[in-house]
Amino acid sequence: MVEWIQDLDKKARPVPSRQSGARILMLMTSLDISNNYNIDPDNVQTLGRYQIICQLGQGATGIVYLVWDPFIRRNVALKVAKTETDKFRENFLAEAQSAGRLSHPNIVAVYDAGSENDFCYIAMEYIKGATLENFCRKENLLPPNKGLEAILEVCKGLEYAHREGVIHRDIKPSNILLNLDGSAKITDFGVAQMTDRTFTTSIRGTPHYLSPEQVKDEIVSFQSDIFALGCVLYEILAGEKAFPGENSYGVLYKITSTEPRSILSIRSDLPKVLDEIVRKAIRKDPSERYQSCAEMAAELDVALRGIVASPRNLEKSKEVADYFQNLSFFADFKKEQLSELTALANIVKFPGGKVVASEGEIDDTFYIILSGQVKVRKGEKDIATIGTGECFGEMAFLGGQPRVANVAAEGDCVLMKITAALLQKLPDSVGLLFFRSFARTLVQRLSKNLEERN
């Protein structure tokens, strides 16, 4: 570990609570270890305007903290890096600016960036969840359909960034965050570009996802991101790296000169088409790879349908479907339709008190409560309690309007999360059943409202 990281971390230990001690220290100054500002390290509680809550993790470039932004009143992830040269600072801020212009549901939003004394920071959207790195080990792999769904979302985010002319250059599992609701978000656009431009000759962090052209210091293109994404796909399916090695040199040699073994030799249950997709994404020659992430996504989508329809998977989701069939929302669904749906849908557990949907947000997701109940609030007022077998969020889904109320879990609850994109993947007949259930729900709510008024 780099020494300054140890020092920085020591000085910014998590504070017990963001309310405790109102003393505002200019952390950027206090962290300048070499200048010896006579600062008491135990009192370091803020970083610029951000109040440190705890450390979220650290990488080769810096430390990421969970902080509280008192102006906007929200939690934010703050990445802090030591400014090594003026050029570093210039690139860091310029690239944070370009990353800040990217706005996409599958890209971590950048809110703010700055530098003070020897440090630069980027404030970004805080993702409560885990990085894909946690699901790259054999003992902790995601079910293949969930892994593919995450990679499909990364494809969407990257396709958008590429259209905006931005190459990530550092796609790897630790730069893909999985939200608690199962959606995937790409992070480190700014830092990745900065790192690459500033340190072309020395490799920081892990080299396992570098494309052959990056290794050879040749022209980097959108296809370099596709190569890296192919390596990530390999890893989340196989539970091992596409280009493993004892040391960086071994890895780099493999990237430029060898082919990884087939994922089918590691996991024979995967469809052959996935092996073909991975191989196409990681071709040595960029012109032989997918020419866009949209192209790769289209093939992944076909593979996903194949996996969902596989006899083993359908068997498993049939068992789950048995349980859901008793819920009122699914009253009109046939068992096969329900198992097709459960194979594709995200089922998410929310702890009591956790906000599931917020007033004002624009989102096409709706939820069906599989167990437990949620509370609907508008401002300070409780509007309704919705229980097992009912749905919520359908108005925003149907009308495309911002959400009109907050919804929070009341006690632990399990929700089925449905997006417009998921509905498109289902046969029209299943889509119609959803609309029938929506209509029934709306009529029931309307008549309940009328009863209460009378």
Catalytic residue IDs: 170
Which of 93, 203 has the CB closer to ligand ATP? 203
Four-point Cα dihedral 81, 82, 84, 87, nearest 10: 50
Residues 6+ apart with CB under 8 A from 36: none
124 binds ligand ATP (CB under 6 A): yes
Rounded to whole angstroms, how far apart are CA atoms 146 and 330? 23
Say whether residue 187 binds ligand ATP (CB under 6 A). Answer: yes
Phi then psi for residue 259, to 5 deg, are -105, 140
Among 30, 45, 61, 183, binds ligand ATP (CB under 6 A): 61
Which of 30, 46, 51, 58 is close enough to bind ligand ATP by CB under 6 A? 58
113 C-beta neighbours (distance < 10 Å), count:
20
Do residues 101 and 66 make contact, with C-beta atoms less than 8 angstroms apart? no
Pick from 45, 174, 198, 406 the residue near ligand ATP by CB under 6 A.
Answer: 174
Residue nearest to Mg ion (CB): 188
Residue reference for tokens 């990681």 = 282
Note whether 14 binds ligand ATP by CB under 6 A: no
Count residues contacting ligand ATP (CB under 6 A)?
23
Residues 6 or more apart whose Cβ sits within 8 Å of residue 17? none
Contacts 24+ apart (CB under 8 A), 418-427: 418/345, 418/365, 418/366, 418/367, 418/368, 419/364, 419/365, 420/364, 422/344, 422/345, 425/301, 425/305, 425/344, 426/340, 426/341, 426/344, 427/337, 427/340
- Binding at 156: pick from ligand ATP, Mg ion, none (beta carbon under 5-8 Å per type): none
- Say whether residue 115 binds ligand ATP (CB under 6 A): no
Name the DSSP class of 108. Answer: P
Which of 147/393 has CB closer to ligand ATP?
Answer: 147
* Interface segment toward ligand ATP; rule CB under 6 A; list 22-30, 55-63, 86-94, 366-374: 55-63
60 binds ligand ATP (CB under 6 A): yes
| Residues contributing to the site for Mg ion (CB under 5 A) | 59, 175, 188
CB 154, min distance to Mg ion, A = 14
**CB neighbourhood size of 91 (10 A):** 20
To ligand ATP, the closest distance from the beta carbon of 309 in angstroms equals 34
Q: Closer to ligand ATP by CB, 110 or 274: give it.
A: 110
Report the 10 Å Cβ neighbour count for 323. 12
64 is a contact residue toward ligand ATP (CB under 6 A): yes
Compare residues 56 and 442 and give the one whose CB is closer to ligand ATP. 56
Residues forming contacts to ligand ATP in the complex (CB under 6 A) are: 56-62, 64, 77, 79, 108, 124-127, 131, 174-175, 177, 187-188, 191, 205
